[in-house]
């Protein structure tokens, strides 16, 4: 039998290892411990700031506390724009863990396309907005899904109670709560306020664990009180809308001004839009035509030509102007009237809206004097409204005028104005020669006007304007039962590619009651196409409706019998 072998005699156990190997291993281990100790000392003693920043970048967050945007109210305190609590739904794509069913439900709640949601959740970011300004009830349903990585933050959503009625005045804000149009834009700094902030520590689930420091409190925006009266704005809006639809017009605009203060009580445009829902918004709807669009005013300019001739002593109200044979040739151009009137007094020239009579008076004036008169009432200068987009219009320098240009400007061609400009200019006739500065902000105290014409000149033209709006004038449809009215029609061809086209702007500008004027109302209807296009047919009835409703809303006492006789308008009586 083989002899047993003892384990102690195993060749591996009996092999002797060199002493230097054990010392080397011990030295290496000691070196590693020494390196770790030095690294720990370096990190804790010299790199503390770096580590603090790294930790802060992972767990600390600067949260913005939004300021509440100031309210916009009308002159009576009625709400026109306010901020409501809302939520911003955001995601950390790396943390989102949702089933296909949860994603489908989330997309439906947020009104998003499923592919758009997937695209946002696939972005290489740690903070992605899914939807801003989400209503509180919808946000609650989103939170109920309990999807990891989907979070919410507080913000505000702008709400406009009057909707489309006052859209062009108030304007609207974007998702960042910054003004984009109207007073929301022009008064952005005043309304916006200043946001606050606080520094917090969040855990890996996005929950706030601790607040660091005291933070900064938000400063809410200041409220804004407009001169607009929402009752009158509603009346003007409805009347304009109905007129544009009735006459199948392209657009229209209305301005209502308080004669006593120069405050704009209503400003409406059609087409308009709902600032609460701008999904299908177009540029046409955004245009504030009463302020930003210019047009040739036509015969609404004639009262100023008559006033300048009276003011400079060229004529008197009773002076006779021979308009026969109803035409006047200047150079190679011929100016005509709708009828051959023959001799007319100055009063009758304005009452009948005679182009020939107006031109003969205007040509008695030196060009410089006429230019000074036009600019004195605000033409060629942007109105100081504190409102975006107000235009200056166009009045050519008098040194370049040719006789035919001076002639056509006297009856409203070759000169361009905005509706609010000409509405303001009529204050010289409603206020005994004073031109009122306009404002769209509520005034606590009236401001003084600037004298332009002598009181007797303004009063004489006021009488003529009452005749023009009477049964024998061009706008009997402007009459209002119970009130005396004064005003002037306008019908002007539109310029297209440098030539007058067979398209019209019908307008009417007037005021009431004549015994003590309270409101000026200017109406413009662009391209009526339902068979009527004269100012006396299209714009005058709108003036009567708005002015009558406004005077009654303001409780202005009647100054005329209620049995006012209104005759049908003769469409060829009014010249263009």
Q: Model confidence over 416-470: pLDDT tens digits? A: 999 999 999 999 999 999 999 999 999 988 888 999 999 999 999 999 999 999 9
84-132: pLDDT as tens digits: 999 999 888 888 888 889 989 999 999 888 889 889 888 888 788 999 9
Calpha distance 25→30 (Å, rounded): 9
Reply yes or no on whether the pLDDT at 295 is more than 80. yes
Q: How many residues does the chain have?
A: 576
- Helix (H) or strand (E) holding 214, with range, is strand 208-216
168-220: pLDDT as tens digits: 999 999 988 899 999 999 999 999 988 877 666 655 555 555 556 667 788 89
Any bridge partners for residue 226, and if so which? 441
Reply yes or no on whether the pLDDT at 30 is more than 80. yes
Reply yes or no on whether the pLDDT at 489 is more than 90. yes
Calpha distance 94→125 (Å, rounded): 8
As a 3-state breakdown, the chain gives helix, strand, coil percent values, each rounded to 5, of: 35, 25, 40
Alpha-carbon 563 to chain mean position: 41
Reply yes or no on whether the pLDDT at 235 is more than 80. yes
Helix, strand or coil, per DSSP, at residue 81: strand
pLDDT score, position 400 = 94
- Average per-residue pLDDT for the chain: 88
Calpha distance 106→145 (Å, rounded): 8
Nearest by Cα to 268 from 166, 182, 171, 181: 166
Region of poorest pLDDT, from 161-165, 338-342, 419-423: 338-342
Percent of the chain with pLDDT over 70: 88
Reply yes or no on whether the pLDDT at 305 is more than 80. yes
Reply yes or no on whether the pLDDT at 301 is more than 70. yes
Instruction: State both tokens at 18.
Output: 């060199």
Calpha distance 483→474 (Å, rounded): 18
Percent of the chain with pLDDT over 90: 65
Instruction: State both tokens at 229.
Output: 């009266």
Alpha-carbon 16 to chain mean position: 97
Nearest by Cα to 428 from 403, 405, 456, 387: 456
pLDDT score, position 575 = 45
Calpha distance 298→488 (Å, rounded): 10
144-153: pLDDT as tens digits: 999 998 988 8
Calpha distance 275→272 (Å, rounded): 9
Reply yes or no on whether the pLDDT at 12 is more than 70. no
Asked if residue 552 has a cis previous peptide bond (ω within 30° of 0), the answer is no
pLDDT score, position 47 = 62
Tell me, what DSSP letter sits at residue 414? S
Going along the chain from its start, the domains and CATH numbers come out as 62-118+129-225 (3.90.1310.10), 230-273+287-553 (3.40.710.10)
Calpha distance 492→412 (Å, rounded): 8
Tokens 């200017």 belong to: 522
Environment class of 451 (CB within 10 Å of its CB; exposed 0-12, middle 13-18, buried 19+): middle
Identified catalytic residue from 230, 299, 418, 507? 299
Helix, strand or coil, per DSSP, at residue 5: coil
Alpha-carbon 7 to chain mean position: 102
Reply yes or no on whether the pLDDT at 370 is more than 90. yes
Environment class of 464 (CB within 10 Å of its CB; exposed 0-12, middle 13-18, buried 19+): buried
Reply yes or no on whether the pLDDT at 574 is more than 80. no
Tell me, what DSSP letter sits at residue 483? B
- Helix (H) or strand (E) holding 126, with range, is none
pLDDT score, position 283 = 81
Please, how many CA atoms are within 13 Å of residue 480, restricted to the half-sphere of its CB? 28
Instruction: State both tokens at 49.
Output: 């700031």
Calpha distance 544→548 (Å, rounded): 6
pLDDT score, position 200 = 60
Active site residue 299: yes
Count of CB atoms situated within 10 Å of the CB of 121 = 19
Question: Averaging pLDDT over each range in 133-137, 139-143, 252-256, which range is the top one?
Answer: 252-256
The more confidently predicted of residues 216 and 355 is 355
CB of 194 closer than 8 Å to CB of 151: no
Any bridge partners for residue 487, and if so which? 510
Helix, strand or coil, per DSSP, at residue 516: coil
pLDDT score, position 205 = 55
pLDDT score, position 206 = 56
Environment class of 283 (CB within 10 Å of its CB; exposed 0-12, middle 13-18, buried 19+): exposed
pLDDT score, position 499 = 80
pLDDT score, position 491 = 94
Calpha distance 405→330 (Å, rounded): 10
Reply yes or no on whether the pLDDT at 403 is more than 90. yes
Reply yes or no on whether the pLDDT at 6 is more than 80. no
Calpha distance 276→120 (Å, rounded): 26
Nearest by Cα to 293 from 391, 377, 375: 391
Reply yes or no on whether the pLDDT at 565 is more than 60. no
Asked if residue 368 has a cis previous peptide bond (ω within 30° of 0), the answer is no
Environment class of 480 (CB within 10 Å of its CB; exposed 0-12, middle 13-18, buried 19+): buried
Reply yes or no on whether the pLDDT at 297 is more than 70. yes
The more confidently predicted of residues 569 and 473 is 473
516-536: pLDDT as tens digits: 999 999 999 999 999 999 999
Q: Which residues of 95-115 are buried (b: 16+ CB within 10 A; e: fewer)?
A: ebebeeebbebbbebbebeee
Nearest by Cα to 171 from 76, 283, 81: 81
CB of 256 closer than 8 Å to CB of 274: no
271-284: pLDDT as tens digits: 999 999 887 778 88
Environment class of 2 (CB within 10 Å of its CB; exposed 0-12, middle 13-18, buried 19+): exposed
Helix, strand or coil, per DSSP, at residue 146: coil
Any bridge partners for residue 488, and if so which? 509
């Amino acid at each position: 039998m083989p002899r047993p072998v003892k384990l102690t005699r195993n060749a591996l156990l009996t092999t002797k290892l060199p002493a230097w190997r054990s010392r080397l291993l011990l030295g290496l281990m000691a070196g590693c411990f020494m390196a770790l100790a030095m690294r720990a000392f370096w990190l804790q003693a010299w790199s503390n700031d770096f580590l603090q920043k790294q930790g802060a970048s992972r767990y600390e967050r600067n949260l913005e506390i939004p300021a509440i945007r100031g309210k916009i109210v009308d002159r009576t305190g009625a709400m026109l724009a306010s901020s409501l609590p809302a939520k911003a739904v955001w995601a950390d794509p790396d943390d989102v863990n949702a089933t296909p069913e949860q994603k489908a439900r989330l997309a439906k709640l947020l009104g998003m396309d499923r592919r758009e949601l997937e695209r946002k959740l696939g972005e290489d970011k740690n903070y992605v907005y899914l939807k801003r300004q989400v209503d509180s009830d919808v946000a609650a349903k989103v939170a109920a899904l309990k999807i990891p990585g989907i979070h919410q933050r507080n913000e505000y959503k702008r709400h406009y109670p009057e909707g489309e009625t006052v859209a062009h005045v108030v304007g609207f804000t974007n998702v960042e709560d910054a003004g984009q149009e109207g007073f929301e834009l022009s008064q952005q700094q005043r309304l916006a306020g200043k946001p606050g902030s606080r520094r917090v520590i969040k855990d890996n689930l996005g929950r706030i664990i601790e607040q660091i420091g005291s933070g900064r409190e938000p400063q809410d925006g200041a409220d804004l009180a407009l001169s607009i009266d929402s009752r009158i704005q509603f009346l003007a809006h409805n009347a304009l809308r109905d007129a544009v639809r009735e006459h199948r017009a392209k657009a229209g605009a209305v301005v209502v001004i308080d004669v006593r203060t120069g405050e704009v009580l209503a400003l409406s445009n059609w087409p308009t839009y709902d600032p609460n829902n701008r999904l299908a918004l177009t540029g046409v709807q955004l245009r504030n035509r009463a302020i930003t669009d210019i047009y040739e005013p036509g015969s609404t300019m004639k009262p100023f030509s008559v006033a300048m001739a009276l003011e400079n002593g060229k004529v008197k109200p009773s002076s006779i102007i021979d308009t026969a044979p109803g035409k006047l040739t200047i150079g190679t151009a011929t100016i005509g009237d709708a009828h051959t009137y023959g001799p007319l007094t100055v009063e009758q020239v304005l009452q009948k809206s005679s182009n020939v009579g107006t031109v003969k008076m205007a040509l008695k004036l030196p060009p410089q004097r006429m230019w000074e008169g036009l600019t004195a009432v605000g033409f060629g200068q942007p109105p100081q409204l504190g409102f975006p987009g107000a235009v200056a219009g166009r009045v050519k320098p008098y040194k370049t005028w040719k006789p035919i240009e001076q002639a056509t400007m006297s009856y409203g061609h070759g000169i361009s104005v905005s509706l609010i400009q000409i509405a303001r200019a009529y204050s010289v006739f409603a206020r005994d020669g004073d031109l009122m500065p306009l404002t769209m902000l509520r005034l606590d105290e009236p401001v003084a006007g600037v004298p332009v014409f002598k009181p007797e000149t303004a009063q004489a033209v006021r009488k003529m304007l009452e005749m023009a709006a009477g049964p024998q004038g061009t706008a009997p449809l402007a009459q209002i039962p119970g009130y005396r009215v004064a005003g002037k029609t306008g019908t002007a061809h539109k310029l297209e590619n440098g030539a007058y086209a067979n398209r019209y702007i019908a307008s009417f500008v007037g005021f009431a009651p004549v015994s003590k004027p309270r409101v000026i109302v200017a109406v413009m209807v662009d391209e009526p196409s339902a068979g009527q296009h004269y100012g006396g047919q299209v714009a005058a009835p709108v003036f009567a409706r708005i002015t009558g409703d406004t005077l009654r809303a303001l409780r202005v006492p009647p100054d005329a019998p209620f049995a006012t006789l209104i005759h049908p308008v003769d469409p060829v009586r009014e010249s263009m």
